[in-house]
Amino acid sequence: MLSTLLAIALAAPAAAPAALPRAAVIDIDATKGLSGLPVPRFVNVKSDKAYLRSGPGDRYPVLWVYVRKGLPVEIVREYGIWRQVRDIGGSIGWMNKQLIGGTRTAVVIGSVRTMYGTPNLQAKAVWRIAPGAIVRVVLCSEAWCRVDRGGKSGYILRAQLWGVSPTETIG
């Protein structure tokens, strides 16, 4: 079910592509990518249709087509204009940087979650949100994140979201 919410498969796994030139090898332990931004980091799919490819280039086969604008993905490597990303389902592939944006979003995970008016479990519940919903992340500090969706906002536990790192501060 989750994979149908996130993407539509276009192709069966292809044979392994030819080895990339030596210049394509990137240190996976690097803390900054070629862009100068931290790696790993979360971004979002900014297009209504974004292709995830098996390698960093248009010649590589398409693995997935994402049709859900705002979906968070995690950049794990960079190569020129290409970003290797991981999605919520664990799929990894390459996406052109023009298809991703810096607006922070997250996906509600687990079961239906309660949003609170303040970052406290004893606070007033302001609304409930279904798993799989994409929210815009306004801020995160310690165990809580303030998010909004459709004009509603509230606090949710960070552990109930995919798209924010366990220790990062946002906002």
Record the pTM.
Answer: 0.81
User: So what's the pLDDT on residue 7?
Assistant: 38
> Domains of the chain (ranges plus CATH)?
2-12+32-103 (2.30.30.40), 106-162 (2.30.30.40)
CA nearest to 116, candidates 128, 107, 124: 124
Walk along the chain (171 residues) in steps of 10 and give the mean pLDDT of each run: 35 37 42 84 96 97 97 97 98 98 97 98 97 98 96 97 96 92
User: So what's the pLDDT on residue 155?
Assistant: 98
Beta strands per DSSP E along the chain = 7-9, 41-45, 50-53, 62-66, 72-79, 82-86, 92-96, 100-101, 105-108, 113-116, 125-129, 134-141, 144-149, 152-157, 161-162
User: So what's the pLDDT on residue 31?
Assistant: 58
For residue 93, how many other CB atoms are within 10 A of its CB?
22
